[in-house]
Structure 1
Amino acid sequence: MTITATRTQLAVPTRALLAGGAISGPLYFLISLTQAAVRDGFDLTKHPASMLSNGDAGWIQVTNFLVSGVLLIAGAIGLSRVLEPGRGSVWGPRLLGLFGVSLLFAAVFKADPGNGFPVGAGPATLSTTGTLHMAAGSVGFLSLIVATFVFASRFSREGHRGWAVYSRVTGIAFFAAFAVMSSGNAAAVVMLAFWATVMLAWGWVTAVVIRSAR
């Protein structure tokens, strides 16, 4: 009886950690897209979500980064507890945790205003804070991309071909959109593709966490 009770008590925090990781992505996009719809001057075809950290209501996106980052780190810890030893069981959660840490840095070092947002902002410039924001984002995005391939390798080894393909497609699509945008291409279709692939990648995180929780 005592052993059973102890195991149950230990399992509850792990489930809570995994739940945090599962909702991190949906929460991030719910808050980001709501702001994108109501804040003057913001345009999905011109501005990434990180620019929402600027202006009088910028604290909302800063908080969004912080909360989502903490939840994702929690989810990574939960994954490290439940994954069976094997390929990707160590570095998979670590890479997702690093992505979560990058969100915390993105909250501290805000993206520069520009391209008409907030209203009245001129052409985009690059400050020291903005450079650090971009560096944090690059490290986080690359960590997430590598994580998709780490888990793809794990899924392949376990015989879960569908999950392996899903993971690789997510990583390739996200990397392609990120690479094109990082090259300086600011076309509307590029920005929309970046938004779409970031959502795809966050959705993959949620799916992997939920699958592992089961």
Structure 2
Amino acid sequence: MIPAVLTAVVSGITEPLEFTFLFIAPLLFAVHSVLAATMAAVMYTFGVVGNFGGGLLDFLFQNWIPMAKNHSNVMFTQIFIGLIFTVIYFFVFKFLIEKMNLKTPGREEDDVETKLFTKADYKAKKNMEANQNDENDMYMDQAIIILEALGGKDNIEELNNCATRLRVSVKDEKLLQPDSVFKQAGAHGVLKQGKAIQVIIGLSVPQVRDRVEELLKK
């Protein structure tokens, strides 16, 4: 998290943080949008103008240093308003995260790895949600999560199933994700013996296997 925050502050590249909002807690992104727009309006009202679309480096070299001699009051006004909204952001987000128990980075279950999400992750999530509306693909969302938890299709060596379990041989067991990720897909458990993996799914395992095989062919 610290490198992502420093990157956002210094260079203005905020996508990893914002797409994490969208992926984990869309409400936070909506609140962020309202607060950001309000802050921009307040600054404009107090006469703060300039190119503030970047990070600290842009602020310094495009605004603060050139304006320091004749318009220092604008610079200090921007900093003052920014600090006020920093406090507002903190308490609003803290209240919402704790009140709604949002699983933001650092608040996940013990065996879930902290991760910042990308635009590709967000699109994949939306595709999964779209698949849930299609009765013919009711098992596709399970297959997508399970395949990702197994390290992706390039990590699959062999795939078959028994009555209730998906039996998989993987190329690199280090690429496997925590058991909690499999359980998000509805799995009842995971048995691991080196590169031999058994995902306990239940009587719907043939349908899930079919969807996994479809994904492997793409």
The two structures have a TM-score, normalised by structure 1, of 0.31
Q: Which structure has the highest strand share of the two?
A: 2
Asked which structure has the greater RCO (Cα within 8 Å, sep 6+), the reply is 1
Q: Which structure has the highest helix share of the two?
A: 1
The two structures have a TM-score, normalised by structure 2, of 0.31
